Structure 1
Amino acid sequence: MDEALLRSLAPGVLGILVRRGADFAAAEDALQEALAEAVRGWPDGRPQDPKGWLVTVAWRRFLDATRADAARRRREDRVAEEPAPGPARALDDTLQLYFLCAHPSLTPSSAVALTLRAVGGLTTRQIARAYLVPEATMAQRISRAKRTVSGVRFDRPGDVATVLRVLYLVFNEGYSGDVDLAAEAIRLTRQLAAAIDHPEVAGLLALMLLHHARRAARTAPDGGLVPLAEQDRGRWDTVSIAEGVGILQSALARDRLGEYQAQAAIAALHADAPTAEETDWPQIVEWYDELVRLTDSPVVRLNRVVAVGEADGPRAGLAALAALDAASPAAARGGRPLPRRTAVAAYLHERDGDLATAARLYAEAAHQATDLAERDHLTRRAARLNARGRH
């Protein structure tokens, strides 16, 4: 049985069922029954039109379930009669699923889980392992999400920006368990890019490819984090870099700049530098200025501080950080610190030669870190600077 084929067909079949009038939960149940029948029946010979076969069988299962439930008879009157067997329509209903799974009524975590289930074709067990939660917990999350969107009707276009945020959330989960979520996010974004002509979709795909190209160099043999400046650039995937840059250039040429295109431009400048010392930091600062204009995000402003420190020196970076602190009075009064703010301060003080302050701030940043690998990395930097200070 070609499981990859079934997985690739499933989203389109589900989209067709939903468009015909089936609510999401019932459509997904019917699809799973059709897939199970395919697994049992296809080994003796794949049908000429696998997608059409799945649509026909799933629609029959949906109608059977609807007729068997007296409470659903009113809905049965609304659904069209079973279409004659034949090839499935060429219309790509998968795009509708993207918008459905990223519906604003869902929480980000539920939207991600539902996208992986309905569009990605992953099993509940795979998604649970990827997020390191019990399978029962993930099953409940997905069931709630399916119930939430079951009554949603598509009488207006979905929000592309919401879909892209969900896909970027998937990508940033990286790899855990037996599912490579970064690779899965790239696959889904490719699929979306093939279905919709939008420069920000292309921008996100370029951004993912450029970041993913550095993956092999991000960790040391012992599992520790390797900062960008210290990575072995010979281990970067030049094929993915070239593809990402090509996609980005085509998107930028349309002159409809968005945040993902700007982020991808920054990633491309890093990828283009033969060494860390040859990075075009002034141009990166300019791109961060564009990102600030587009998003006004505190995290983007903090990343811009790092770029200023590299372009104009650590003192300039510390001055930019002080200006950012002044613009965030709540944090200055002891509120919840901006993620990575303390680590950025530590790095700038280290570059400025104030090793004692840098060591103290690295230790503080390690205490704030929620990621174990990042915490270990910051702790090691603090220990290294403390050891240098004693000699």
Structure 2
Amino acid sequence: MSASLEQRIAEVYQAESRRVLATLIRLLHGHFDMAEDALQDAFIAALSQWQRDGIPDNPRAWLVSAGRFKAIDQLRKSTRLDSCLEELAQTLEMESQIQSMDADDALEDDQLRLIFTCCHPSLAMESRIALTLREVCGLTTEAIAAAFLLPVPTLAQRIVRAKNKIRDARIPYEVPEPDALPERLEAVLSVVYLVFNEGYSASSGTQVIQGDLATEAIRLTRLLRDLLPNAEVTGLLALMLLHDARRNGRTSVDGDLIPLEEQDRSRWNQSQIREGCDLVIQALKAGPPGVYTLQAAIAAVHAEAPTAAATDWAEITGLYDVLLRQCSSPVVALNRAVALAMRDGPEAGLKAIDAFRNHKELQHYYLLHAARADLFRRLDRSQEAIQCYQQALDLVKQEPERRFLQQRLAMLQKK
């Protein structure tokens, strides 16, 4: 095989494999593992036949057709051992005779079906994340396990259980009806945002950023926006792009955390910032802003400030006020209190935090203690700051964040 043909087939795999898989899952009646095997068999057949005949005009349709017939062949062999598969084999053969693979076969709908199935609310959140990364994004089980610091067998079992739940509970492989779409879309966006957050700032481990996860979440959101234009999908994409734009400035060459006010803004990705800001405007024009659009608007104010000192904290605080009315999360309240401290001073920030700091959701949230420590430090209340930094250190799980807190603590203890 020539190097150019091999490269072209690799490009087809990169561009089409997840789309082909989504359609095969539908055609094979939700049998995920069978569809994955059929996908691999189809590409193995392509390596041989395309070398002889050339790449077809519609490689996606060719692969879908080849994959389905490979699955039928495999089912025919398996029915000798499992009679339960006979009916499925007959059904697939009948459908293959009446359905043409020459058209696109609603592949866009198939991708949406796959996304909504993997993110179904009846699945546990960790299962939704694992299944989405594996089936929609195409990450290997090993890569997902490494990203979340899980043993590979544990992650593999999580994926298996999710697939079994889909099969046993007969979760439909479909896009929700219009009246159910808002709630189901919210579940999908939650999964994608959790994936991004783990990439943007890992919950534990030795690195702040897991770039592959952040990049994959952005890619998935672009896909979702292409398939299902929606203001909040646009807002989420904007939010991710604006946060990710700061990637190169967030850590030192040694992997240490650099706080926002000390980052070299010339290292921020300006093209991502421009795109993100444009998307914020589009989302705001589309209707009343949702929680992702409001967070994106806050990120845009940060991104557009030429220096940390020039940040418009009044606008940020106002946006947090609106966000808090929509989402009464204690984490949002904490972020608003930090913005308020930047606008009105650390005393105002501490007073705001005191109003909710005993909330049960914040008891193990190290950033609550880190925020209070920073405000006490700015007020030269060293002993209270030291105590809060020590509380934060007891809870933090990411090593670069731990080192940052230890550095701040050491500076205070030297006084």
Is TM (by shorter chain) over 0.5?
Answer: yes
Partner in structure 2 of residue 372 of structure 1:
399
Contact 2:64–2:101 (CA under 8 A) maintained in structure 1: no
Question: What's the RMSD between the two structures over aligned residues?
Answer: 2.3
> Which structure 2 residues correspond to residues 330-345 of structure 1 after superposition, within 5 A?
330=360, 336-345=363-372
When structure 1 is superposed on structure 2, of 308-317 and 118-127 the one drifting more is 118-127
- 1:27 is matched with 35
Q: CA deviation at 1:91?
A: 4.2
Matched with 2:373 is 346
What is the aligned partner in structure 1 of residue 240 from structure 2?
208
Answering whether residue 151 of structure 2 is matched by residue 124 of structure 1, we say no
CA spacing shift, 1:296–1:42, aligned 2, 3 Å: farther
CA distance, structure 1, for counterparts of residue 31 and residue 17 of structure 2: 13
Residue 356 of structure 2 corresponds to: 324
3-state SS of 1:106 partner: coil
Q: Kindly indicate whether residue 92 of structure 2 is the aligned counterpart of residue 72 of structure 1.
A: no
Q: Which of 89, 92, 102 is the equivalent residue of 1:86?
A: 102
Tell me the distance in 1 between the aligned counterparts of 2:13 and 2:117: 21
Offset of residue 291 of structure 1: 1.6
The 1:360/1:339 distance shift into structure 2, 3 A limit, reads: closer
Give the letter for the 1:214 counterpart: R
Normalising by the residue count of structure 2, what TM-score does the alignment of the two structures yield? Answer: 0.86
Which of 51, 58, 72 is 1:63 aligned to? Answer: 72
Mark the CA change 1:43 to 1:385 in structure 2 (over 3 Å): closer, same or farther: farther
Contact 2:199–2:211 (8 Å) recurs in 1: no
CA contact (8 A) 2:337 2:353 kept: yes
Once the two structures are superposed, residues 30-72 of structure 1 have per-residue CA deviations (whole angstroms, 9 ceiling, x without a partner) of 2232234334554553222110011101111222334433212
Correspondence 1:100 to 2:117: yes
Is the 1:13–1:54 contact (alpha carbons within 8 Å) kept by the matching residues of 2? Answer: yes
For residues 143 and 158 of structure 2, the distance between their equivalents in structure 1, rounded to whole angstroms, comes to 14
* 1:133 maps to 2:150: yes
Paired residues for 1:175-214 under 5 Å: 180-214=212-246
Q: Where in structure 2 are there 5+ consecutive unaligned residues?
A: 1-5, 201-206
Q: CA–CA distance in 2 between the matches of 1:42 and 1:180? A: 31
- Match status 1:172 vs 2:197: yes
User: 1:285: how far off?
Assistant: 1.0
Kept after mapping to 1: 8 A contact 2:198/2:210:
no
Matched-pair contact (CA < 8 Å) for 1:366–1:376: no
Shift of 1:315: 0.6
Asked if structure 2 preserves the Cα contact closer than 8 Å seen for 1:203 and 1:248, the reply is: yes
Distance 1:31 1:53, change over 3 A: same
Contact residue 22 and residue 62 of structure 1 kept, 8 A: no
The range that moved more, 272-281 or 119-128, is 119-128
What is the CA-CA distance between 1:294 and the residue it aligns to? 1.6
Contact 2:349 2:375 in 1 (8 A): yes
Contact 2:22–2:114 (CA under 8 A) maintained in structure 1: yes
Tell me how many residue pairs correspond in the alignment: 383
> Which residue matches 2:282?
250
Partner of 2:171: 152
TM-score by length of 1: 0.91
